[in-house]
Amino acid sequence: MDVLSDVLLAVRLSGALFYDVNARSPFVAQSPATELIAERVMGEVGHVIAFHVVTEGACWTEPVDTPGSPVRIGAGEMVIFPGGNANIMASDPGMRGTPDWDAYFRTLDEPLPLSIAVNEGAEAGAERCRFVCGYLVCDTRPFNPLLAALPTMVSAPVSAESWQWVARLLDAAVEASGQDTAGRDAMLAKLAELMFVEALRGHIATLPPDARSWVAGLRDPQVGAALRLIHAEPERAWTLEQLAREVSMSRSAFAERFTAYVQVPPMQYLTRWRLQRAARLLEEGRTASQAATAVGYQSEAAFHRAFKRLVGVPPGAWRRGRRHTE
């Protein structure tokens, strides 16, 4: 399994498509910060990410709290707000509006995605833009290296090959919104997740050569190889020397390069990833002793200390707390 997929599974990414928006110029659609609507739109405990994918026309998008950063996106392009920032989709840069709170707090007893029309009374010939809005939820604790490595806004094209099936599935999802179709919600969730992964792949591919972040590290020959080793065998008793040797670098040069990309030293990253994996095992019903052994700890006491240091609570308390919230 590749590193990105491993992380997305470990942080329990799940999604949903909520709104099919048809807008005519001039228009502005402002979405609130996801922390204000998280429980309503996803109904789960976790961090909520907002995204939009344009299917027809074009518009300008930007986070509300970062003025002067509008980006124009067109059909086949997607924008993600990893931090859940309030954001704008508008016909012209710099426009501001007010969230339509009724759209978020209405009774959601009709099939998703909900159809929304913006500026229906526009003059004949007004430019049309259509975009689909959705949300993804994921865990941030104990360790989510992806979220910390993404900017406030990620805009990326869906590849031409992928856009063919994405467009077909989007059309199918919208058509199904008028019917009580079995499996519709599951289809929408998986479609949202697939589009998110496509946008991440596009983002990684377009990063400048001098970019330094966890996602940039995935494509670096040495750092990417080390990450694959760690994620493939987190339970292995890795040492800095072993990892450096595996990627054909000196110990000091490897440590410096890995830290420059990932923002934490290699052995610290290994510890954090082990504890992320252990947290998932605890939630699945494993005992602390079983989880410790599975991720490479020879001593349960050492596992307890490391887990509490990173997470703030002992493994047993974490497991009880997560079960209480599910």
Every domain of the chain with CATH number 1.10.10.60 lies at 220-325
Question: How large a percentage of the chain has pLDDT more than 90?
Answer: 56
What pLDDT sits at residue 227? 97
pLDDT tens track for 207-242: 999 999 999 999 999 999 999 999 999 999 999 999
Mean pLDDT of 275-289: 93
Higher per-residue confidence, 210 vs 101: 210
Strands lying side by side in the sheet with 28-31 = 28-31, 87-90, 58-63, 71-74
User: Is residue 324 pLDDT above 60, yes or no?
Assistant: no
Residue 107, judged by CB atoms within 10 A of its CB (0-12, 13-18, 19+), counts as exposed
| CATH number given to 220-325 | 1.10.10.60
Rounded to an integer, what distance in angstroms lies between the CA atom of residue 307 and that of residue 272? 9
Longest dimension (CA), the chain: 72
Cα-based angle 41, 54, 114 (whole degrees, multiple of 5): 35
Each residue's pLDDT tens digit, 305-315: 999 999 999 99
The CATH number of the structural domain formed by 3-205 is: 2.60.120.280
Distance in angstroms (rounded) separating the CA atoms of residues 279 and 205: 31
**269: pLDDT confidence band, cut at 50, 70 and 90?**
very high
Q: What is the pLDDT of residue 325?
A: 54
Residue 107 has pLDDT above 60, yes or no: no
pLDDT surpasses 70 at 56: yes
Handedness of CA 311, 284, 269, 237 (dihedral sign): positive
Overall average pLDDT of the 121-134 stretch: 87
> 257: left (phi > 0), else alpha (psi -120 to 50), else beta?
alpha
Give the Cα separation of 110 and 99 in Å (integer).
21
Comparing 90-94, 146-150, 199-203, the range with the smallest average pLDDT is 199-203
157 has a pLDDT exceeding 90:
no
Measured distance CA(213)–CA(200) in Å, rounded = 13
In a 10 Å sphere around its CB, with 0-12 CB exposed, 13-18 middle and 19+ buried, how is residue 184 labelled? middle
For CATH 2.60.120.280, the residue range(s) in the chain are 3-205
